[in-house]
Amino acid sequence: MFDEPLASNTSEESYPVTAVISHVVKTGREQGYEAWFHGIAADARKFKGHLGVSTIRPQDHTHLEYVVILRFDCYDNLKTWLESDIRREWIERLQPLIEKPETVQTLTGLETWFTLSDRPMKSPPPRYKMMLVTWLAVFLTLPMLNRLLAPLLSGLPVLLNQLISTGLGVALLTYVIMPRLTQLFRKWLYPTP
């Protein structure tokens, strides 16, 4: 269940926000869960700022984990839905269908680069910290890529050159640079209270 208050960096921020909600469904209760999901999704659509909801169904029938992706236009509207009496009633109806309480994670964009492998993310770092670490990562990555790729891609058309170099840059940032910088700046990004 959603027991923990959502974290917000400032009340004035109004960028789109996504909640990723995980439910582990009891074996044999899949049809009941599907009916429950369609009902709660219909009610969520009635709330201000709702941008859409979808679900990722389990591929493995031994571990029935459904992942619900819920999008709202801003944090306050998402919070209103997540803490509403209507949703609370739906969560009560869900209890006989699931093995353990749901998990809710909120994302606004950049924080997917700022996850620590040994710690599930409760709330993202402040946006200015994410911006500074991302800026440092791009600052380190672009010159290195330009130096390495320029001789190899110089004979290609400009658009293809940019397509390859930006694709490699994003892959490097996502899988190599950002995970290491997040670990390096861990204490600054996630200070211990």
Provide the 8-state DSSP code for 21: E
For residues 112 and 17, is the Cβ–Cβ distance under 8 A?
Answer: no
57 by DSSP, 3-state: which? coil
pLDDT by residue, tens only, the chain of 193 residues: 333 344 444 444 566 788 888 899 999 999 999 999 999 999 999 999 999 898 888 877 778 889 888 888 888 899 999 999 999 999 999 999 999 999 887 766 555 555 555 554 456 677 788 888 888 988 888 888 888 888 888 888 888 888 888 888 888 887 788 888 888 988 888 787 6
Please say whether the dihedral angle defined by the alpha carbons of residues 30, 2, 127 and 192, taken in this order, is positive or negative.
negative
Q: pTM for this structure?
A: 0.54
